Amino acid sequence: MAVIHRTTMNPTKLELFAAWLPSRPWYVATGRAPELARAGGFRLDDPQGEVGIEFMVVTDGSGDGAVSYHLPLTYRGAPLDGAPADALVGTSEHGVLGTRWVYDGIHDPVLVERLLALLEGRAEPQAQSETDTPDRSVTGRFDGDGLTAATGPGAVTEGRHGTELAVRTDGDGGSPLTLAVTRVLQGSDGPAEARGQVTAEWQSPDGGRSRGAFVVVRENAG
């Protein structure tokens, strides 16, 4: 069970993200420094109790139209062995836990395993800011016999439209699939033919509530 500490981080999460986001290929450049605000998200528990796992939404209001980003994140007490250099968002001093290494979680095997468990109904989403409080608004589904993530070079690809992770079904002869992580949230579900998806809510820039696909599992083209 993840424990939510009411304490400080220096630099703050938003300060870390403002420095890191413009380096991402899916970032919508505005010509100005990001002006970020928290807009929602949820957490998953690490069964070992070692890694913090958060799916955060931040909204950038620096441009003519605000853009909401989905950031899967992990928080670790030591560097993640084998992680690519650009997977590290940054480090921060936590008021209770000390130095925390903050990672783009799609590169972290702990987050990926828990995300697959959420899709398969084996993990319960938790409220972003409350300890031991399920978030019933988050849903996950997968139409199949289970998922296994690819590892090693080329398993994760970044592009203008988001981040993709190669996965494979545990049944059906191990059919290859793609786990597509939505980075720029649009307030819509995944395609009707999707094999699975995670949907959740966030606060839209106009103050209302939006809901859409954070992650989609799809068949590979061709």
Is residue 2 very low, low, confident or very high in pLDDT (cuts 50, 70, 90)? low
The whole-angstrom separation of Cα 179 and Cα 31 is: 31
* pLDDT at res. 136: 96
Bridge partners (DSSP) listed for residue 94: 9, 98
pTM comes to: 0.94
Calculate the CA 108 to chain-centre distance. 11
Q: Cis check for the bond before 11: say yes or no (omega within 30 of 0).
A: yes
Each residue's pLDDT tens digit, 99-155: 999 999 999 999 999 999 999 999 999 999 888 899 999 999 999 889 999 988 889
Calculate the CA 196 to chain-centre distance. 16
- Please determine, for residue 193, whether its predicted confidence score (pLDDT) is greater than 90: no
